[in-house]
Structure 1
Amino acid sequence: MMYGYGIGWGWMMLMPLVWIVLLAVIVWAVVRLVQRPGDRTPPQRRETAQEILDRRFASGEIDADTYADARARMAGREPSPR
Structure 2
Amino acid sequence: MKAVAVEPGLTPVKEYLQSQGCQVVDMSSHMEPSVGAVVITGLDKNLMGMQSAIQQVPVISADGLSPEAVYDRVKDYLR
Give the structure-2-normalised TM-score.
0.22
**Higher relative strand content:** 2
Instruction: Tell which structure's C-alpha radius of gyration is larger.
Output: 1
**Higher relative helix content:** 1
Give the structure-1-normalised TM-score.
0.22
Which structure is higher in RCO with an 8 Å CA cutoff and minimum separation 6?
Answer: 2
